[in-house]
Amino acid sequence: MGAGRPCATLTSAMRLAKYLAHSGVASRRAAEKLIVNGRVSVAGKTVTDPARDVDESSGVAVDGGPVKPESHVVYALNKPPRVVSTAKDPGGHPTVVSLVPSERRLYPVGRLDFDSTGLILLTNDGELANRLMHPRYEVPKTYRVQVSPSPVSESSLTKLRQGVELEDGPTAPASVRRLAPARIEITIREGRNRQVKRMFEAVGHRVEALQRVAFGPLRLAGLEQGAYRRLTPAEIERLRKSTS
């Protein structure tokens, strides 16, 4: 576990799965699995109920190793192409996590495709990551895409704004703005797999390049491709507020 001041939110009692996520052990869902699989103990006794209330004094351990609270960090990375945004890649490609050296175990918040570029967040705060990805909070994500063939018609832009039919259901209304005949900025509040590419495919265009330029209140501006920076407490607070 990383050093640093314990996070204030860890001092009060909370459910075991949430405690593990807050401590940077795993995402909330992965923490639930660890618990159900009998790998988590409280005061020396195995606990299989993810809803059990615990706090810092409860003696929580995973595989026998004590879980200590660690301070939370959030990084913004400008993802280059040909980098995967899962934590590990069986194919041996670099991962977004490998581009941000940290003592803490970081997780990407959502995904960008292998060939996509732009703003991706990494954090050890599993709770915040889950909230930012949860469809309920409708956190806006803005993308700039270059598509072919050119130009994109006004009627296609209107369809994208209103919502298009995809195989996993219709998309919610989106904000869409033309930057050039075949260069479009689109803001969606969902996060389905390959959603932007599939939306453009639905109106007859292929996405040739996709860059995420904003995530919630954060913008990519100022970060070179491959560069990263740690968010300030004020920025993290703004992110948190976007999920409330």
Residues that bind ligand URA (CB under 6 A): 112-113, 116, 143, 194-197, 210
Residue with tokens 């351990």: 61
CB-CB contact of 43 with 64 (8 Å)? no
Which residue of the set 55, 113, 125, 168 is catalytic? 113
Tokens of 212: 């995420």
- Indicate the residue among 112 and 176 with the shorter CB distance to ligand URA: 112
- Indicate the residue among 67 and 207 with the shorter CB distance to ligand URA: 207
Secondary element (H or E) of residue 228: strand 228-230
CB-CB contact of 105 with 124 (8 Å)? yes
- Indicate the residue among 122 and 196 with the shorter CB distance to ligand URA: 196
Cα–Cα distance, 83 to 143 (Å, whole number)? 18
CB of 115 to ligand URA, least distance (A): 8
Within 10 Å of residue 79's Cβ, how many Cβ atoms? 27
Measured in whole angstroms, the distance separating CA 167 from the mean position of its chain's CA atoms is 23
CB of 37 to ligand URA, least distance (A): 32
Q: Based on the residue annotation, tell me whether 113 is a catalytic residue of this protein.
A: yes
CB of 207 to ligand URA, least distance (A): 7
CB-CB contact of 228 with 132 (8 Å)? no
Pairing mode, strands 165-166 and 53-54: unpaired
Helix-helix angle 154-162:195-202, to 10 degrees: 130
CB-CB contact of 112 with 118 (8 Å)? yes
CB of 6 to ligand URA, least distance (A): 35
Residue with tokens 């996405």: 207
Q: Among 15, 4, 2, which Cα is nearest to 127's?
A: 15
- Indicate the residue among 22 and 79 with the shorter CB distance to ligand URA: 79
CB-CB contact of 85 with 79 (8 Å)? yes
- Indicate the residue among 103 and 115 with the shorter CB distance to ligand URA: 115
CB of 216 to ligand URA, least distance (A): 15
Report the catalytic residues.
Answer: 113
